[in-house]
Homo-oligomer: A and B are copies of this chain.
Amino acid sequence: MATYIFGHTIPDTDSIVGAISLSYLKNHLGEDCVPARQGEVNPETKWVLEKFGFEAPQLKTSYAGEHVYLIDFMERSQSPEDIDDATILGIVDHHKLGDLTTKTPLEMWVRPIGCSNTIVKQMFDYYKVDIPKDLAGMMLCAILSDTVIFKSPTCTKEDTKACKELADIAGIEDYKTVGMEMFIVKSDVLNATPRELVTRDFKDFNMGGNSIGVGQLEVVDLSVFDKMKADLFEDMKKLKEEGGRHSVLLMLTDIMKVGTQLLVVSDEPEKIEHAFNIKLENGEVWLDGVMSRKKQIIPFLEKQFA
């Protein structure tokens, strides 16, 4: 029986590449593993897969009776609905300890660093397994994406070290330029519907019994959103109602200016204001220096809703 390896509900580049890179390593170590994904591949990830000549992992949303490894998440709200009927053999992740539990002992490689693929790189080193050139290129892009080309406060020395080593293997000299190319692809939001944008990189969290969804769009210039703000707000309201959510937040992150325009639709906007010690105007506010959902948004919401 093959073991499936997959990331969170709405996959990002780290989730998709991590499923592929961890499967490669595990297969090399004698396990029979298959990469999978829970949702659609986003434009950035599609660009990365094509650039290095990989197929997207198979779409699979039900895992009852299966053996699985999780990559890049350990929250129930980001899991398949039947996760309790699967056997979780292991987790590779760089987030907070979530609310998933298991019935049996497992393997966990969790580090407070910028990207799951940095951990997978360290696993390759630990087991002394060579990384193929094209896979190294994809893993490099995953780390550049998660760390916003090292600008995110989540980025650590371990991430930059992994990038340098992966760039060497991939034969990519100017890897920051590759990162910028990738973010320019990511910045192309004009051909997408509001729903596609709000949910492109969206994660649900259970905070003290409240369902809170936080999306993020990282672009090289925030002005692309000028004419679509009203539509985004409209869709966030719908998404909030549809999912019975307490709040839907959307981070519009400017990777050049290093900051985030935060859009908020909430049953209790004053709680969001209090969490960040801010004042919303027409449901939005500029948060200077804020780049990371995981490190600069979620912990403050968690404290507020604890």
A residues near B (Cβ < 8 Å) are 74, 84, 88-89, 91, 94-113, 126, 154, 294-295, 298-299, 302-303, 306
Please tell me if the beta carbons of A103 and B295 are within 8 angstroms of each other in the complex. no
Please tell me if the beta carbons of A110 and B101 are within 8 angstroms of each other in the complex. no
Please tell me if the beta carbons of B112 and A104 are within 8 angstroms of each other in the complex. yes
Please tell me if the beta carbons of B97 and A101 are within 8 angstroms of each other in the complex. yes
CB distance from A51 to the nearest CB of B (A): 29
Please tell me if the beta carbons of B111 and A107 are within 8 angstroms of each other in the complex. yes
Please tell me if the beta carbons of A101 and B104 are within 8 angstroms of each other in the complex. no
A126 cross-chain contacts in B, Cβ below 8 A: 126
Taken together as a complex, chains A and B put the C-alpha atoms of A306 and B85 apart, in Å, by: 11
Please tell me if the beta carbons of A295 and B97 are within 8 angstroms of each other in the complex. no
Please tell me if the beta carbons of A103 and B109 are within 8 angstroms of each other in the complex. no
A302 cross-chain contacts in B, Cβ below 8 A: 103
Taken together as a complex, chains A and B put the C-alpha atoms of A106 and B299 apart, in Å, by: 12
Taken together as a complex, chains A and B put the C-alpha atoms of A132 and B91 apart, in Å, by: 32
Contact of A97 among B84, B91, B112, B294 (CB under 8 A): B91
A94 cross-chain contacts in B, Cβ below 8 A: 105
Taken together as a complex, chains A and B put the C-alpha atoms of A121 and B95 apart, in Å, by: 25
Please tell me if the beta carbons of B101 and A105 are within 8 angstroms of each other in the complex. no
Q: Could you list 12 A-B pairs, sorted by A, with CB under 8 Å?
A: A95-B105, A96-B101, A96-B102, A96-B105, A99-B101, A103-B303, A104-B295, A105-B112, A105-B113, A105-B295, A106-B112, A109-B109
Closest to A95 in B: B105
Contact of A104 among B84, B88, B105, B299 (CB under 8 A): B299
Please tell me if the beta carbons of A106 and B101 are within 8 angstroms of each other in the complex. no
A154 cross-chain contacts in B, Cβ below 8 A: 105
CB distance from A287 to the nearest CB of B (A): 18
Please tell me if the beta carbons of B106 and A102 are within 8 angstroms of each other in the complex. no
CB distance from A147 to the nearest CB of B (A): 13
Interface centre among A111, A113, A295, A298 (most CB of B within 10 A): A111
Taken together as a complex, chains A and B put the C-alpha atoms of A84 and B303 apart, in Å, by: 11
Please tell me if the beta carbons of B108 and A109 are within 8 angstroms of each other in the complex. yes
Taken together as a complex, chains A and B put the C-alpha atoms of A105 and B298 apart, in Å, by: 10
CB distance from A106 to the nearest CB of B (A): 6
Q: Knowing A107-B112, A110-B107 touch, does A100 contact B97 (C-beta < 8 A)? A: yes
A109 cross-chain contacts in B, Cβ below 8 A: 108-109
Please tell me if the beta carbons of B96 and A104 are within 8 angstroms of each other in the complex. yes
Interface centre among A98, A103, A294, A302 (most CB of B within 10 A): A103
Contact of A103 among B101, B103, B105, B299 (CB under 8 A): B299
Please tell me if the beta carbons of B100 and A106 are within 8 angstroms of each other in the complex. no
CB distance from A27 to the nearest CB of B (A): 19
